[in-house]
Amino acid sequence: MSLDDYVVLLIAKRIAGDIVFSDDPRSSLRKWREYFEVSQADLARLMGVSPSVISDYEKGRRVPGAGFVRRYVSALLEFDRLRGWRKVSSIAASLGIIPGVVIDMMEFPRPLSLDELVDVVRGVLLTPEVGGDRLVYGYTLVDSIKAILTLSGIQYSILFGMTPERAIVFTNVQTGRSPMVAVRVSPVKPSVVVIHGPRERVDPLAVEIAKRDNVPLILSLAKSVEELRDMLRSASRSPSQLT
């Protein structure tokens, strides 16, 4: 069994956040290790430290910094990967994450302007009168057909990741109407909507909905979903490429 990278990263951040913001980090460390059913010895071996180091942190003799928490959580997830993602899959299900709906989800190293995002996705802005000063902090790349068929109103909020100030990028779009109707009825609006798929004509109603909801609408002219994903990932990893 495999899981999308974004799912693993999302869960890693939630676990790390639980540890860092816990009133009792030592208990939180132990809780997550026991949840993943990993012994101190096995965890220490994967992290390249002695079991006594793990014991010191879990007993409060040492205070975990960000670097240690990152390594600790990464090691737990690596054990789960070797076991077929049993625990991560359970957490994903509890969060309402439906496999296959979200293709990719990342945060940008710095917020992008609307013009920068248009360049990144090789797009055309269909609503030039809307959101000229809009900033975009991340993106969610979505299979629009699967999202419309399977997501409930509550599950739709998963698309926003860490912040709603992001671009929701709908792929496999025919005319653009259905994704914009979904945005229209959502209580939370993304900063920008990008559609990928239409080759002849975007439905005028989709453009009108975008204008009324004050949500910039971009048509990406990327040759494929894979190319679109790679361009977005490149922008999420390299600040220098955004300047």
Greatest mean pLDDT among 118-122, 151-155, 200-204 lies in 118-122
Statement: residue 48 has pLDDT above 90:
yes
| Domain containing residue 231 | 102-242
Indicate whether 10 and 128 sit together in one domain: no
Q: What is the pLDDT of residue 58?
A: 95
Going from the C-alpha of 4 to that of each of 1, 95, 98, 122, the distances in angstroms are 10, 15, 11, 24
One domain for residues 131 and 226: yes
**Same domain (yes/no): 160, 126:** yes
CATH of the domain at 18: 1.10.260.40
SS3 13: helix
Same domain? 148 vs 236? yes
Average pLDDT, the chain: 87
Q: Please say if the pLDDT value at position 112 is more than 60.
A: yes
| pLDDT, greater one: 1 or 53 | 53
- Do 29 and 90 lie in one domain? The reply is yes
Q: In terms of domains, do 9 and 81 share one?
A: yes
pLDDT over 70 (residue 28): yes
Number of domains the chain is built from: 2
d(CA 129, CA 211) in angstroms, rounded, equals: 8
Residue 60 CB-half CA count within 13 A: 7
Residue at which a domain ends, from 75, 94, 113: 94
Low-confidence winner among 38-42, 101-105, 203-207, 237-241 (lowest mean pLDDT): 237-241
Domain of residue 166, CATH code: 3.40.1390.20
Residues 113, 204 within the same domain: yes
**Same structural domain for residues 31 and 146?**
no
Count Cα neighbours of 202 within 13 Å in the Cβ-side half-sphere: 24
Flag whether pLDDT at 96 surpasses 60.
yes
Q: Which of 94, 124, 149 is the last residue of a domain?
A: 94
Average pLDDT over residues 219-231: 94
Clarify whether residues 31 and 149 are in a common domain: no
* Nearest in space to 242 (alpha carbons), one of 51, 123, 108, 139: 108
pLDDT-derived band of residue 114, with 50, 70 and 90 as boundaries?
very high
Same-domain pairing of 231 and 116:
yes
- Amino acid symbol at 172: N
Q: How far is CA 28 from CA 16, 67, 122, 135, 200, in A?
A: 10, 16, 44, 35, 54
Q: What are the φ/ψ torsions at residue 143 (nearest 5 degrees)?
A: -80, 105
Does 139 lie in the same domain as 197?
A: yes
Q: Where does a domain end: 71, 94, 117? A: 94
Per-residue pLDDT at 243: 46
Residue 56 shares a structural domain with residue 155: no
The pLDDT tens digits of the residues spanning 144-196 come to 888 777 766 556 666 666 567 899 999 999 888 888 988 888 778 889 999 99
pLDDT number for residue 9: 84
Q: Which residue has the higher pLDDT, 69 or 189?
A: 69
Percentage of the chain lying above the pLDDT 70 cut: 89
pLDDT at position 104: 86
